[in-house]
Chains A and B, each alone.
Chain A
Amino acid sequence: MDNDFLNKLGIPRLIISLFLAFLVAAAFSFGLPMGQIFSAMLTRFGMNALLVLAMIPTIQAGAGPNFGLPFGIICGLIGATLAIELDLRGFTAFFFAIGVSIPLGAIAGWLYGLLLNRVKGQEMTVGTYMGFSIVSVMCIFWLMAPYKSPEMVWPYGGDGLRVTVVLDGRMEQLLDRFLSFTVNGVTIPTGLLLATALCCVLLWIFMRTRTGLAMSVVGSNPRFAEASGLNVNKYRLLASVVSCAMGAAGIVIYSQSYGFIQLYQAPLYMALYSVSAILIGGASLQRATITQALIGTFLFNALLVIALPVANVAMDSDISEIMRVIISNGIILYALTRKEVGGDAR
C-alpha cells in the first residue's frame, strides 16, 4: 500500500515537495517576508501556467512534450510588440496582442506539425533544434523589422529593437492587478489566476470533445486509432496547432505579468522549462493531465521563488539559477531514461 502510494506520487515529486517544504521552513526561521514570497509564488505560477498547459496537447497526441514551443512563443512576441507599435494601452493592447498571437501561433504550429509528422520518433531532438533555429532567425527579424515605436527601438543609433521592452503603462501586470486583493500580507493576483482557470476549463472541455478524445487515442496507440478509422497525422497536426497557439497566448500573459517583453535569445530555453515543469508534476513523455501541469508549474516556480532569498541569507551567493538548470534538466533526463512501453525505440 505504501509502495503504491509512493509510485503514484512519484519519487521526483516527493523529493521536490520535501525540499520546498524545507525551504519554506528555512525562510520562516530566517524571518523573511513570507507575504511577499507567497505573492511571488502565486504570480510566477499564473505567469507560467499556460506555457506549461501548452505541453498537454502534443504529449496526449503522442508527439511528446512540445520542444518546438518557441514556434508559438515568437508569434506571441510579434503580437505583443505590434500592440505597442500601434500605441495601444490597457486591455485593448492585451486583447489585441492575444488576438494577433493566437492565429499566428496556429499557423506556426501547423507548419511545425507538418515537420513533426515526418520525423516521428525523433520529435524531441528535431523540435529542440528547430526551436533554437527559429529563435535565431527571429533575432535577425528583431534587428531588421521596421518597428518605429520609441519605446521599443534603441534610443540612439543601434539596430532594431531593444533586448527588453518595458511594458510600464501599456499592459504591465494588467491581469495581475485585476480584482487583486491582499490577505495577511499575501497579494492575490486574482485576474491572472482567473485567466489561468479559464484556460484550464477550456482545455479540459476541448480534450473531452470527440476531437480531443481522438487526439488522445492517437497518442495512446496509433494502431488502435487507425483501426478505429482515425487519421493519425491529422490529429498530431492539430495538437501541434493547439499547442503553439497556447504557447503564443501564454507568452503574452507571461510578459504582461513580468512587465517586460524579452526578445532575441530569451525564448531559447523556455520550452525546456515548460517541459520540466510538467514532468515535475508527474506527467510522462506519453501522458499528461491538466492537474499534473498545474502541480508541476506550482512546485517548480515556488521552488525557484523561495530559493533565491533563502540562499542569499544562508550562503550569500546566487544559487537559484543554478538550481533551476539542475532541476529542470535533471527531471527531463529522469523522464528520458525511464523504461516506457512503446516508446520511440530505434
Chain B
Amino acid sequence: MRLLQKNIVPIVFIVLCTIGFHYSGLSWMFFANDLMTRLARNSFLVISLIIPVLAGMGLNFGIVLGAMAGQFAAFITVVYNLTGITGFFLACVLSIPFAVLFGWLTGILFNKAKGKEMITGLILGFFANGLYQLVCLIFIGWIIPISNKALLLPSGIGFVNTLDLKIWQYAIDKFYVFKLKGITTPLLKYLNNINFPVLTLIIVALLCTAVYLLFRTKLGQDFRAVGQNRHIAEVAGIKVDRVRIIAVIFSTVLAAWGQLIFLQNIGNVQVYGSHVQVGTFAVAALLIGGASVSKATIGQALLGTVLFHALFIVSPLAGKNIMGSAQVGEYFRVFVAYGVIGIALALHAWQRLTKKK
C-alpha cells in the first residue's frame, strides 16, 4: 500500500498509457520502435535535470540554454560541413564552451534569486530565446558573415527556419543497429523486431553510470549537502555559491549534448523552434517518472521518459478514436505536460508549507 502511494504518479500514467495504447489501435511493433527511438533521443535531456535537483535548486528550466548551446555547435558543423560521426562528436566538443558559459551565467543568476530558481529559470529560458532569435535572425549574415547563402533567408540576413542536418543524421543511432529475432519466450518475444540503436544506448548508459558515480565523489557529496541546507553547508566551510554554479554548468553541458543527440536523430534543426519546449518536456518527463522538486533518481528519469513519450505517441490517435479528433489528443498531451508540472509544483509547495507548520 505504501509502495502504491509512493509511486502513484507513474502508476497513473502507466494506466493512462495502457488505455491510450488500446484505443489508438497502433501495432505493438510500430509503438515499440517509436518508443525506443524516442527513449534513445530524449533520455539524455531528462537526466541532465537530476544534478540541480539534488543540489537543491529545483527543476532546472534553464536547460533551454543548454539546448541553444548544442544548436550553436550544430550550426558551426553545418557551416563548415563537418560530416558523419566525426562531425557529430565535434559538435559535442564545440558545444562545451557555449554550454559552460551559459551555465555559468545561469548559475550566477540563480545565486541572486535563491529560492526562486525555478521561476527564474523559466523566465530566463524565454529571455534567452529572445537573445537567441536576435543572434540567429538579425546578427547572422549582418554582423556574423556566413558564406553559404543557402543557409540564409532570401534577404541575406538570418538563418532559414529549417537547417538540414543530413551531414550527421543518425551518426550514432545507425552506427550499429541491433534487432532481436526469433525469440519465443512468452514475455520477451515482444522484443522481437525492435531496432536497438546500440551506440546511443551505450552512451546513455555511460552517462547514467557517470552521474551515479559523481555522487560518490567529494563534489557529489557537496551537491547533496548544499541541496539539503545551504546554511549548514556554509558553516561547514563548503563554498555554497560555487557548488551551485558548478551544478548548473554540469546540467547545461549535459543538456547541450542531449539536444545534439536529439538533433542527430531528427536530422534537421528547426532554428527557431527545436529548443523552445525542451525544458518543459524534460521536466514533465522527470516528474511523471515519480521525481519531485527535491528528489530525483536516474531510474525515475528513464521511466518518466518512457511514459511521457508513450503518451505522446498514443494520444493523437487515441484522441481521434475516442473523441473523434486528433487535435484533442494533441492538446491533451500539451495539457499533460503543463498540468503535471503545475500539479507537482503545487504539491511540493503545499507539503513544504504544512511541514513548516
In the complex, what residues of B have CB within 8 A of residue A346's CB?
A: 114-115
Residue contact B137 to A317, C-beta cutoff 8 Å? yes
Taking CB atoms and an 8 Å cut-off, the chain A residues in 180-205 that contact chain B are none
B328 interface neighbour in A126, A130, A133, A144, Cβ under 8 Å: A144
Complexed CA–CA distance, A198 and B236 (Å) = 58
Nearest CB of A to B161, in Å: 14
B332 at the interface (CB under 8 A from A): yes
User: Is A85 close to B, CB under 8 A?
Assistant: no
Contact code string A115-150 (vs B, CB < 8 Å = 1, else 0): 100111110111011101101110110011000000
- Are A119 and B346 interface neighbours, CB within 8 A? yes
Q: Are B353 and A316 in contact (CB under 8 A)?
A: no
B180 at the interface (CB under 8 A from A): no
Question: Once bound together, how far apart are the Cα atoms of A132 and B345, in whole Å?
Answer: 13
| Alpha-carbon distance between A336 and B341 when the two chains are bound, in angstroms | 21
Q: Which of B10-18, B122-130, B218-226, B249-257 contacts A (4 or more CB under 8 A)?
A: B122-130
Once A122-B345, A143-B327, A344-B116 are accepted as A-B contacts, the answer to whether A326 and B131 lie under 8 Å apart by CB is yes
Total A-B contacts with CB atoms under 8 angstroms apart: 134
- Contacting A at CB under 8 A, from B124-162, are 124, 126-127, 129-131, 133-134, 137-138, 142, 155, 157-158
The answer, yes or no, to whether A1 is at the interface (CB within 8 Å) is: no
A341 at the interface (CB under 8 A from B): no
Question: What's the interface size class on A, roughly?
Answer: 35 or more
B130, B138, B341 interface centre (most CB from chain A within 10 Å): B130
Q: Interface residue count for B (Cβ, 8 Å)?
A: 45
Main secondary structure of the interface of B (DSSP, over half): helix
Which residue from A118, A139, A343 sits with its C-beta under 8 Å from B331? A139
The reply to whether the CB of B78 lies closer than 8 angstroms to some CB of chain A is: no
**B332 partner, pick from A140, A336, A337, beta carbons under 8 A:** A140
- B189 part of interface (Cβ distance < 8 Å): no
Q: Which residues of B contact A317 (CB under 8 A)?
A: 137-138, 155, 157-158
Contact of B338 among A122, A129, A144, A344 (CB under 8 A): A129
A345 cross-chain contacts in B, Cβ below 8 A = 114-115
Residues of A within 8 A of B349 (CB): 118-122, 125-126
Q: Which residue of A lies closest to B58 (CB)?
A: A125
> Within 8 Å CB of B138, what residues of A?
315, 317, 319, 322
Q: How far is the CA of A124 from the CA of B119 in the complex (A)?
A: 7
8 A Cβ contacts from B329-357 to A: 331-332, 334-335, 338-339, 341-342, 345-346, 348-350, 352-353
Q: Give A143 to B62 CA distance when docked, in angstroms.
A: 33
Chain A min CB distance to B120 (Å):
5
- B residues within 8 Å of A by Cβ? 109, 112-116, 118-120, 122-124, 126-127, 129-131, 133-134, 137-138, 142, 155, 157-158, 323-325, 327-328, 331-332, 334-335, 338-339, 341-342, 345-346, 348-350, 352-353
| Other 20 A-B pairs with CB < 8 A, given A118-B353, A139-B331 | A115-B346, A119-B353, A124-B116, A125-B122, A126-B345, A135-B338, A140-B335, A143-B327, A317-B157, A322-B134, A322-B137, A326-B134, A329-B127, A330-B130, A332-B127, A333-B127, A337-B109, A343-B116, A345-B115, A346-B114
What are 27 A-to-B residue pairs whose CB atoms are below 8 Å?
Answer: A118-B350, A119-B350, A122-B346, A122-B349, A125-B345, A129-B341, A130-B342, A132-B342, A133-B335, A133-B342, A140-B332, A144-B323, A144-B325, A144-B328, A159-B325, A160-B325, A272-B123, A316-B155, A319-B138, A323-B130, A326-B130, A329-B126, A336-B119, A337-B109, A337-B120, A346-B114, A346-B115
The 3 closest A-B pairs by CB, nearest first: A325-B130, A129-B342, A119-B349
